Amino acid sequence: MNWRDVPPPHHSTPLGRRGFLGAVGATTGASLIGTLDAAPASAAVRAAAERPVRTRSGLVTGVPAALDGVTVYKGIRYAASTAGQNRWRAPRPAPSWTGIRKADTWGAACPQPVTGIDAGKVPPLSEDCLNLNVWTPEADAKARRPVLVWIYGGRNSAMWASQPVYDGAALAAKGVVVVTFNHRVGAFGGLVHPELSAETGHGGSGNWGVLDTVAALRWIRRNIAAFGGDPERVTLAGWSHGSSFVNILMISKLARGLFHRGLLAAGVQYTKDPALGHVAGGYDSLAAAEANGSAFAAYMGASSLADLRALSADEIVSKVYAPGAPSTGTDFGNVLDGYVLPTTYTDAMESGTEYDIPVLTGNNRDENGASPTLAMTVAQFREYAATTFGDRAAGFLKLYPATADAEAAAQYNNYARDEERVSTFLWGTQFRDTAGNRSPLYNYWWTHAPPGTDTTNAIEPADGAGAYHGAEKYYLFGNLYGTDRPWTAEDYAIADTTSSYVARFAATGNPNGPALPPWPAMRATKPLAMELGDAFATLPAADSDAKFAFLKAYLLSQPTEY
């Protein structure tokens, strides 16, 4: 039993502690479904939404958002269509317009398969999809409020910026200007091909979704002040694959100065952690990605780049995600292209080129193999120990002993959770000590399981078990009102505290604030994490000093691959 045989991952005043329960009353999230486009706005908010905002491309007006006091501007184009000859090219500037555009409709999502979501909740799919949404409490250039830019995650399916889980009204009500945007995904966002590498002029290709992110950040730099945002206080935030974009842009030179803090939810692993090969934060070499792109072209029956660009988007989506499609040629992710991602994660740390900005990052209790529904026999557990740890296996089994199958599953979960925290902590020591950065780092461990299941998105595990990969998204945004789960008063309280941390971090680079449980910055001499969710307090990076020492030694001994 090797790592790939482990159950797959279930894959992170304006700044005070605003009473979120007061904002929504005692209403449950379920009864507020559908209100994201029809909030009961005051006359003042309606008037503010109808006041034109001048962008570099033209004038726009917004509409009242889900919470009174907030205006949302939907579907503003930040770059041109990526169809035709613009497919698999860096984004081009958005066209300008005359007159006033009413930004009252969510923009098209980028081409992708969509399953598990009611058709009425799915936006149009189009290659003219590079658009963004802005939530603001005050569209006034003098306001200078902190800005949070969110990058969605997922598995190249059911990914778009207007999903209710990413509604920014609650954070905007706490004084943050929130931006979500659509970027290319799947083959459209990740294709690497020798002809493309020759065409770009920098010797590599791929990472198109990251380039879309850079284009969105440039648009924000030029335009966000008109919406009340401060272009000098931009937090780039993302979940899962989205957090990998944040990580890449903390290394890349392409977005320097365009953001000033990083929030990586389900974000990072130590650069020697074998798990990096199986999570969103990993990447392929340019040679491997080009080989995959050549296999993709052959699978699509295309003999040239021109043939690939002549294919319809629907044909690409249907064939790439067809049952039985080959794994080689239909898998697209990040790539070490030497341009967008100019160097490895480890080299960036060791050379001190990692962007020195405040970082908030963490992982979840029930992801990357751990799950409350895990089934494992003692034999499988021991085989895993032998395969993974080799001559360290006896020491591992002494720390995590199991003599019955139920114990084996429990001990595997204990180990996976410990290693996740240790890996994140070691990444933090790389960021602070190896890279020589002075900015603070705040690491969390999410422990709360959302109740029920969510039918408004298809990016959670089917069983909805535990504090799974992505469970914290609802609470980071504080927008429980936008989903149909059976939220409780406890959930609203957790969301209030968690989103207040986010608002404070966006404003100051430090999540701490009045009436919030203290969250200490990470220190290399104290292996701790901040528990968020079922409690708000520090906890050790592993359940015992002996386990921490064992896992640290194991991870440090691994070969450097990323």
Strand partners, 145: 229
List 57, 81, 240, 244, catalytic entry? 240
- Count Cβ neighbours within 10 Å for each residue of 66-96 and write b for 16 or more, e otherwise: bbebbbbbbbbbbbebbbeebbbbbbeebee
Can you tell me whether residue 125 is helix, strand or coil? strand
Residue whose C-alpha is closest to residue 533's, from 419, 466, 449, 461: 449
Integer angstrom CA distances of residue 203 from 195, 198, 338, 343, 515: 10, 6, 8, 14, 52
Q: What is the 3-state secondary structure of 94-106?
A: CCCCCCEEECCCC
Q: Kind and range of the H or E element at 360?
A: strand 359-364
Residue 266 to residue 86: CA distance in whole angstroms: 32
Q: Closest Cα partner for 213 from 234, 228, 198?
A: 234
d(CA 218, CA 270): 30
Instruction: List the beta bridge partners of residue 72.
Output: 63, 135
Any catalytic annotation for residue 294? no
Q: Is the dihedral of CA 362, 351, 256, 251 positive or negative?
A: negative
Beta strands in 32-136 (DSSP E): 53-54, 59-61, 63-64, 71-77, 100-102, 131-136
Write the burial class of residue 453 (CB in 10 Å: 0-12 exposed, 13-18 middle, 19+ buried): middle
> Parallel, antiparallel, or unpaired: how do β-strands 441-446 and 359-364 relate?
parallel
SS3 31: helix
Helix (H) or strand (E) holding 232: strand 229-239
Tokens of 492: 């609203």
d(CA 309, CA 302): 9
What type of residue is 297? A
Q: Which residues of 173-205 are buried (b: 16+ CB within 10 A; e: fewer)?
A: bbbbbbbbbbbbbbbbbbbbbbbbbeebeeebb
In the numeric block, the tokens 């026999």 are attached to: 377
Of 184, 125, 121, 198, give the one whose Cα is nearest residue 156: 184
Q: Letter for the amino acid at 527?
A: P
Greatest CA span in the chain, whole angstroms?
Answer: 73
Integer CA distances (angstroms), 316 to 125, 320, 490, in order: 13, 6, 45
Amino acid in position 8: P
Let me know the angle formed at the C-alpha of 153 by 271 and 452, rounded to the nearest 5 degrees: 115
Distance, in Å, from the CA atom of 258 to the CA atom of 284, rounded to the nearest integer, reads 26
Helix/strand/coil for 442: strand
**Taking a C-beta distance cutoff of 8 angstroms, is the pair 392, 554 a contact?**
yes
Q: Could you give the residue numbers annotated as active site?
A: 240
